[in-house]
Amino acid sequence: MKKHNFYAGPSILPDQALEATAEALKDFDGTGVSLASISHRSKQFDAVIKEAQDLIKELLGVPEGYHVLFLGGGASTQFAMVPFNLMNKKAAYLNTGAWSKKAVKEAKLFGEVVEFKNEDFNAIPKGWEKEVPSDVDYVHITTNNTIYGTEIFEDFDFDVPVIADMSSDIMSRPVDVSKYGIIYGGAQKNLAPSGVTFVIIREDILGKVEREIPTMLNYKTHIEKESLFNTPPVIPIFTLMQTLRWVKENGGVEAMQKRADEKAGMLYDEIDRNKLFKGTVAKEDRSKMNICFVMNEEYQELEKAFMEYATERNMVGIKGHRSVGGFRASNYNALPKESIEALVKAMQDFEKENA
């Protein structure tokens, strides 16, 4: 029986994209050559990477003056590339959890970091944007926290570039790209298998630092070579293109937002109703992508039992991150509503048997 896949990443992808990738691994585009063996400079793969770029621009309404790049190294490499390319002296970072913390650490190698955070990461700091110094080179945010389960739903206005790590909520809702200097993320949540990183970058923010930038870490290198300076991750880019086709065919990011709202609403309603469980995040900041919850204090001894209960019902990936414990149900675009319904039913049945 097919599993209900709640893994946080690598995570569930559309069956359509996986099946197309499986076929292409056997014979890519009728070439008689596997996708894994095709040249990244072949006309067949050139068509793939261009379609993937065009679909991102179309689905997110990317304005003129921006480039879409497909790079290696994950979001973790972007933590260093951003300050390398943009920071002269100072930057502001909204720290909303583990991944933001890693980005802050890298940025401190290049200059002063003005940091805003809640110590327990159970809510987005309020009013922080009014305290950002006027002399920062850029502002960095992480829009969704996969570990703690918070999400930012606002596109902020600043007089300096806004840089956003959107690894785990890209394509789940409309975004005003014009308000960002860079949007980046590892694609292994809503877009592709691990191995490719997307970067949407406004070209006019570059060239304003005096330091020498290593070739591979210079955004201009990848803009000029159209993501082909070195061999790109061919297979993940192909799957990403197929996933974007699926998003478009199913109504675009507006439809993805409606799906996310419905599914997340169902699960959060059950968390709030059920005697055994409670949410861990302020309600106004609850992530639609990564729904985190724990056992209520008087039922904590049942955590392991519920994990086994869910596993017996063909659920995988609901264990919370090792740093926080509890449970986490990742609700990415490709997760069917039936999986949320199955989890809700398991919670209700477990309550009847144990409350």
Q: Which of 137, 165, 169, 285 is catalytic?
A: 165
Neighbours of 33 (CB within 10 A): 16
What are 43's two structure tokens? 């006309």
Identified catalytic residue from 99, 137, 169, 288: 99
Tokens 């850029």 appear where? 138
Which of 128, 137, 169, 189 is an active site residue?
A: 189
Contact 151, 129 (CB under 8 A): no
Q: Is 199 helix (H, G, I), strand (E, B) or coil?
A: strand
What is the rounded CA–CA span in Å between residue 192 and residue 88? 34
Mark whether 128 is an active-site residue.
no
165 as an active site residue: the answer is yes
Residues 236-254: b if buried by 16+ CB within 10 A, e if exposed: bbbbbbbbbbbbeeeebbe
Strand order across the 162-165 sheet: 66-71, 197-202, 182-186, 162-165, 139-142, 90-95, 112-117
Give the single-character DSSP code of 125: P
Long-range contacts of 340-346 (CB under 8 A, 24+ apart): 340/263, 340/266, 340/267, 341/266, 342/4, 342/313, 342/314, 342/315, 343/4, 343/6, 343/267, 343/310, 343/315, 343/318, 344/266, 344/267, 344/270, 346/306, 346/309, 346/310, 346/313, 346/315
Please indicate whether residue 189 is annotated as part of the active site: yes
**What is the three-state SS of 271-328?**
HHHCCCEEECCCHHHECCCEEEEEECHHHHHHHHHHHHHHHHCCEECCECCCCCCCEE
Just list the catalytic residues: 99, 165, 189
